[in-house]
Structure 1
Amino acid sequence: MKIEKIDFFQPLLIVVAIIAFLAMGYIGSFNYRFEDPLKPEVILTILFSCIIFLAGAIAIKYKINVEKTKELDFLSERLLLALVIIALVLQTLNMVLLGGIPLFNSVLKSSATTNIWRIAYPLFLIMINLLLAKHYDKKYLFLVVVGALIFGLNGYRTSVIGILGSSFITLYYLKKISRRFAVIFIGIMIIGLLGVGYIASQSIANQHWTLNPVELIFYRAAFTLEVFERIIPLGGTTHGHILSMIFSSGSPRTFIGQYVLHYNVCLTSTLFGPVYLDFGMIGLTIQMLFMGAFLQLVHKLKKGIGVAIYSVILTHTLIWIETGPTDIMIWFLYLLGLILIIINFNHIKLNKN
């Protein structure tokens, strides 16, 4: 098979990324913090999750056909551009109201995800990808970089990954990426991620890090997987409490820190941690089956606006591999995928072969 015909961003990428994250965490558990490597139970549970994800994706891939996709003509270039600029203005206003730059101040960072940010970030993320998908112009790449910089000042790597990653995937499916552009864009993304993660870690009060930016990534993977390791014996004991917190008030990650490690700290617990803590192996199986099937179906709708929506959902599912699906704002992106499916429902057919 020629490399040009390989779809590098099909849902299978989730499994590849999970295994890569697991490998990084396993290496990190030896080198930077932990006395013992990850337990076999952790590795087997994650591999089982990958198999279930693949089962859902494969079922949709071979059983569902999409004849065509519907476009939304009211999404004009002027409207989308205006919404992108509004999102950038809102995030700038957010930092002005905070009184500083959260990236350089851990106190500000802890309160940086305000209601303004919760509007500005998904608005920019969705609209910049729709703008690229429907009205591509090279000049809009400048807005992608500006957005990554402004939202990166919040101190969270996920914003940088979300913006740069989804834009890259959108451009990939639009066939606007040359080899040279890909190298430059990926280079900018890597440098941005390393920079934001390292600077943010150095600004945390009462913590003194000696790891370099690359070592810090392996350490974070190891620590996050250790949190999941400690969740496994507690599987199903929170009885849906984390899920209810996602769709109401409270901080699911802080609750996990208190419940699992008995510290008042905000923790990432992998894609598998929250659902396993709430519902055990049954819940994990349902989640991974759903994600595999859902991503594969949205992947089949990746034309026009579907390209933008799939790119955003795939990117944030990749982010969830570390952070976990504990933010209602990101579940809103899955809701966009559901709306895309509903809009195109009449064009989705069951393959009888």
Structure 2
Amino acid sequence: MKKYDFFNPLIVVVAILAFLAMGYIGSFNYRFEDPLDAEVILTIIFACIVFAVGYFAVKYKANVKISQTNYLSEKLLLALTVIALILQSLNLVFLGGIPLFNSTLKANATTNLWRVAYPLFLITLNFLLAKYYSRKYLILIILGALIFGLNGYRTSVLGILGSSFITLYYLDKISRKFGIVFIAIIVVGLMAVGYIASQSIAGQHWTLNPMELIFYRAAFTLEVFERIIPLAGTTHGKILAMIFSSGSPRTFIGEYVLHYNVCLTSTIFGPVMLDFGYIGLTIQMLFMGAFLGLVHKIKNGVGIGIYAFILTHTIIWIETGPTDIMIWFLYLIGLIYIIMMLFKKNTGSDEI
């Protein structure tokens, strides 16, 4: 595990191709009469190539090695992490139940309280691990995954467990045995949340087992993208405007593409394709490849945590699509980190 950098930005390309493979298999078994259209496959391969070009464009530039920042105390980070858990617990209390077991509550679970609690927990947890690692803080990872998982969304569970795993990996705290156990927890946690949530949807009766459900979801999401391609560039930036203002981009996509009032995932490529076509897709994937490549290159101290939660949520976007302003806020933190590190390099300073 020390010999190879398993979590360099190209892991996004691997994850995209794995998702495509699962969707292709799922399209035979659960969703389509015909397999995925060739244009879908070629478009996704093209997007992967553009992402890789962006990554390699910054990979071979001069290295930036800077000492870690010292202005975040352990007590402050621990306090903020605990506060985030308390806020999410209060969110569940105010909802009046457990959204994981109630589809009506789940539809209203992403409250403003949750929008504060989740990013606060994600950020401070990874900063705490990156700067002040201690075995006792592993308890916070499990608590966070459990408490936020009760909202009924797999993305929260993957965001917490995945980013923590990547942070610990770069701290060289992942032994082979620990790594296998941690990955098993991630897989089981995601399957459990997804399956339980699907069984609690009112008016729907699922017969798929947890493993079949994963392939079905991949196939369905890629089917949405397949239907988006002929509509490329027809929304003229409306989805992008909705992300940074009001409204529900995923619901808009459901109404625009399938003509149903339903919240849809449309892959990492879907929203930008609808808004700006292949030109927009090229710019987005080039940006993501270069951005992740740069954060990966200069990660140090809390920068390890920053890279971990940005990479994790970029991988999550492969299915869900980059339609969450809250996650773009994580990218903003990465941009601020890049500017700070480059400023420190140019001034020769070890402090901000």
Q: What fraction of aligned residue pairs are identical, expressed as a percent?
A: 75
Change (3 A) 1:57 1:92: same
In 1: Cα distance, 2:16 partner to 2:316 partner:
10
Other-structure match for 2:143: 146
In 1: Cα distance, 2:119 partner to 2:63 partner:
30
Other-structure match for 1:9: 7
In 2: Cα distance, 1:70 partner to 1:271 partner:
34
Q: Any residues of structure 2 matched to 1:39-118 within 5 Å, and which?
A: 39-66=37-64, 68-118=65-115
Residue 42 of structure 1: CA displacement?
0.2
In 2: Cα distance, 1:58 partner to 1:72 partner:
27
Q: AA paired with 2:260?
A: Y
Which runs of 4 or more aligned residues in structure 1 lie more than 2 Å from their structure 2 counterparts after TM superposition? 69-72, 346-349
Q: 1:70 touches 1:344 (CA, 8 Å); kept in 2?
A: no
Q: AA paired with 2:214?
A: I
Q: Any residues of structure 2 matched to 1:138-177 within 5 Å, and which?
A: 138-177=135-174
TM-score (norm: length of structure 2): 0.97
Q: Any residues of structure 2 matched to 1:111-260 within 5 Å, and which?
A: 111-260=108-257
Is residue 317 of structure 1 aligned with residue 314 of structure 2? yes
In 2: Cα distance, 1:64 partner to 1:267 partner:
42
In 2: Cα distance, 1:59 partner to 1:248 partner:
32
Q: AA paired with 1:175?
A: D
Residue 185 of structure 1: CA displacement?
0.7
Aligned length in residues: 346
In 2: Cα distance, 1:85 partner to 1:204 partner:
31
Residue 70 of structure 1: CA displacement?
4.7
Q: AA paired with 2:305?
A: A
Q: AA paired with 1:9?
A: F
Q: AA paired with 2:150?
A: L
Per-residue CA deviation, residues 233-257 of structure 1 (Å, 9 max, x unaligned), is 0000000000000000000000000
Quick check: 182-191 or 145-154, which moved more? 182-191
Is residue 299 of structure 1 aligned with residue 296 of structure 2? yes
Residue 71 of structure 1: CA displacement?
2.9
Report the secondary structure of 2:63's partner residue.
strand
In 2: Cα distance, 1:51 partner to 1:153 partner:
37
Other-structure match for 1:329: 326
Per-residue CA deviation, residues 126-163 of structure 1 (Å, 9 max, x unaligned), is 00000000000000000100000000000000000000
Change (3 A) 1:70 1:278: farther
In 2: Cα distance, 1:348 partner to 1:73 partner:
16
In 2: Cα distance, 1:167 partner to 1:30 partner:
35
In 1: Cα distance, 2:145 partner to 2:189 partner:
9
Q: 1:70 touches 1:343 (CA, 8 Å); kept in 2?
A: no
Change (3 A) 1:34 1:279: same
Report the secondary structure of 1:269's partner residue.
coil
TM-score (norm: length of structure 1): 0.97
For structure 2, which runs of at least 5 residues remain unmatched after alignment? 347-352
What is the Cα-based RMSD across aligned positions, in Å? 1.0
User: Structure 2 residue aligned with 1:272, among 266, 269, 274?
Assistant: 269
Other-structure match for 2:350: none
In 2: Cα distance, 1:255 partner to 1:70 partner:
45
Report the secondary structure of 1:65's partner residue.
coil
For structure 1, which runs of at least 5 residues remain unmatched after alignment? none
Residue 301 of structure 1: CA displacement?
1.6
